Amino acid sequence: MLDVERAGELFEAFGPVRCRPMFGGTGVYARDVMFALEVRDVLYLKTDASTQAAFQAEGCGPFSYDTARGQRTIASYWRAPDRLLDDPEEFAVWARRALAVALSRKQQAPRKQSKKT
Protein backbone atom coordinates (compact mmCIF):
# COMPACT_ATOMS: atom_id res chain seq x y z
CA MET A 1 0.00 0.00 0.00
CA LEU A 2 1.16 3.52 -0.75
CA ASP A 3 2.34 5.15 2.47
CA VAL A 4 3.61 8.66 3.15
CA GLU A 5 7.28 7.72 2.70
CA ARG A 6 6.74 5.84 -0.57
CA ALA A 7 4.45 8.58 -1.91
CA GLY A 8 7.07 11.19 -1.05
CA GLU A 9 9.67 9.30 -3.07
CA LEU A 10 7.38 8.58 -6.00
CA PHE A 11 5.99 12.11 -6.25
CA GLU A 12 9.20 13.96 -5.29
CA ALA A 13 9.67 15.56 -8.74
CA PHE A 14 5.93 16.35 -8.87
CA GLY A 15 5.62 18.06 -5.51
CA PRO A 16 3.85 17.52 -2.20
CA VAL A 17 0.90 15.12 -2.03
CA ARG A 18 -1.46 13.84 0.64
CA CYS A 19 -2.56 10.21 0.87
CA ARG A 20 -5.87 8.96 2.27
CA PRO A 21 -7.01 5.35 2.60
CA MET A 22 -10.01 4.54 0.41
CA PHE A 23 -11.57 1.68 -1.58
CA GLY A 24 -9.12 -0.77 -0.06
CA GLY A 25 -6.33 1.36 -1.50
CA THR A 26 -5.01 4.88 -1.26
CA GLY A 27 -6.24 8.15 -2.80
CA VAL A 28 -3.50 10.64 -3.71
CA TYR A 29 -4.35 14.34 -3.42
CA ALA A 30 -2.77 17.63 -4.43
CA ARG A 31 -4.38 21.04 -4.21
CA ASP A 32 -7.35 19.42 -2.43
CA VAL A 33 -8.32 17.14 -5.32
CA MET A 34 -7.74 13.43 -5.82
CA PHE A 35 -5.73 12.83 -8.99
CA ALA A 36 -4.29 9.36 -8.41
CA LEU A 37 -5.38 6.10 -6.86
CA GLU A 38 -3.32 3.13 -5.73
CA VAL A 39 -5.03 -0.24 -5.36
CA ARG A 40 -3.29 -3.59 -4.89
CA ASP A 41 0.12 -1.97 -5.54
CA VAL A 42 -1.04 -0.57 -8.89
CA LEU A 43 -1.07 3.20 -9.46
CA TYR A 44 -3.83 4.81 -11.52
CA LEU A 45 -3.91 8.43 -12.72
CA LYS A 46 -6.94 10.62 -13.43
CA THR A 47 -7.71 10.83 -17.15
CA ASP A 48 -10.14 12.35 -19.60
CA ALA A 49 -10.68 12.12 -23.36
CA SER A 50 -7.63 14.29 -24.01
CA THR A 51 -5.21 12.09 -22.04
CA GLN A 52 -6.52 8.53 -22.46
CA ALA A 53 -4.80 7.99 -25.82
CA ALA A 54 -1.38 8.28 -24.15
CA PHE A 55 -2.35 5.54 -21.69
CA GLN A 56 -3.69 3.36 -24.49
CA ALA A 57 -0.45 3.82 -26.45
CA GLU A 58 1.42 2.47 -23.39
CA GLY A 59 -0.85 -0.60 -23.26
CA CYS A 60 -2.55 0.53 -20.06
CA GLY A 61 -6.24 0.29 -19.22
CA PRO A 62 -8.80 1.76 -16.85
CA PHE A 63 -9.21 0.84 -13.21
CA SER A 64 -11.64 -2.03 -12.72
CA TYR A 65 -12.73 -4.30 -9.92
CA ASP A 66 -15.03 -7.24 -9.41
CA THR A 67 -18.41 -7.00 -7.73
CA ALA A 68 -21.12 -9.56 -7.02
CA ARG A 69 -22.78 -8.43 -10.27
CA GLY A 70 -19.63 -8.59 -12.39
CA GLN A 71 -16.74 -6.32 -13.22
CA ARG A 72 -17.05 -2.56 -12.75
CA THR A 73 -14.79 -0.13 -14.61
CA ILE A 74 -13.92 3.40 -13.53
CA ALA A 75 -12.96 4.98 -16.85
CA SER A 76 -11.60 8.17 -15.31
CA TYR A 77 -8.59 6.43 -13.72
CA TRP A 78 -6.09 4.55 -15.91
CA ARG A 79 -3.10 2.49 -14.88
CA ALA A 80 0.14 4.46 -14.91
CA PRO A 81 2.74 2.92 -17.21
CA ASP A 82 5.19 0.89 -15.12
CA ARG A 83 8.18 2.52 -16.85
CA LEU A 84 7.22 5.86 -15.27
CA LEU A 85 7.94 4.51 -11.81
CA ASP A 86 11.63 4.42 -12.76
CA ASP A 87 11.64 7.89 -14.36
CA PRO A 88 10.69 10.52 -11.76
CA GLU A 89 10.83 13.46 -14.15
CA GLU A 90 8.54 11.91 -16.77
CA PHE A 91 6.30 10.53 -14.03
CA ALA A 92 5.92 14.10 -12.75
CA VAL A 93 4.78 15.21 -16.24
CA TRP A 94 2.06 12.54 -16.30
CA ALA A 95 1.07 13.32 -12.70
CA ARG A 96 0.74 17.03 -13.55
CA ARG A 97 -1.57 16.14 -16.46
CA ALA A 98 -3.66 13.98 -14.13
CA LEU A 99 -3.87 16.84 -11.64
CA ALA A 100 -4.92 19.25 -14.40
CA VAL A 101 -7.71 16.84 -15.39
CA ALA A 102 -8.85 16.53 -11.78
CA LEU A 103 -8.83 20.30 -11.28
CA SER A 104 -10.77 20.80 -14.51
CA ARG A 105 -13.39 18.26 -13.44
CA LYS A 106 -13.68 19.92 -10.04
CA GLN A 107 -14.37 23.29 -11.70
CA GLN A 108 -16.98 21.72 -14.01
CA ALA A 109 -18.81 19.95 -11.18
CA PRO A 110 -22.14 21.56 -10.31
CA ARG A 111 -22.05 23.35 -7.01
CA LYS A 112 -24.40 22.22 -4.29
CA GLN A 113 -26.94 24.84 -3.45
CA SER A 114 -27.30 25.66 0.19
CA LYS A 115 -30.72 25.31 1.75
CA LYS A 116 -32.25 28.50 3.00
CA THR A 117 -34.23 28.22 6.21
Q: Is the pLDDT of residue 117 over 60?
A: no
Check if the beta carbon of residue 79 is closer than 8 Å to that of residue 60.
yes
pTM of the model: 0.86
> For the chain, what are the domain ranges?
4-107
Average pLDDT over residues 55-78: 94
Check if the beta carbon of residue 62 is closer than 8 Å to that of residue 75.
yes
84: helix, strand or coil: helix
Check if the beta carbon of residue 80 is closer than 8 Å to that of residue 43.
yes
Q: Is the pLDDT of residue 114 over 80?
A: no
Q: What is the pLDDT of residues 13-39, one digit of tens each?
A: 999 999 999 878 999 999 999 999 999
Kind of pairing, strands 33-39 and 42-46? antiparallel
77: helix, strand or coil: strand
Which of 3.90.1150.10, 1.10.760.10, 3.30.1460.30, 3.90.180.10 is the CATH number of 4-107?
Answer: 3.30.1460.30
Q: What is the pLDDT of residues 84-109, one digit of tens each?
A: 999 999 999 999 999 999 999 877 76
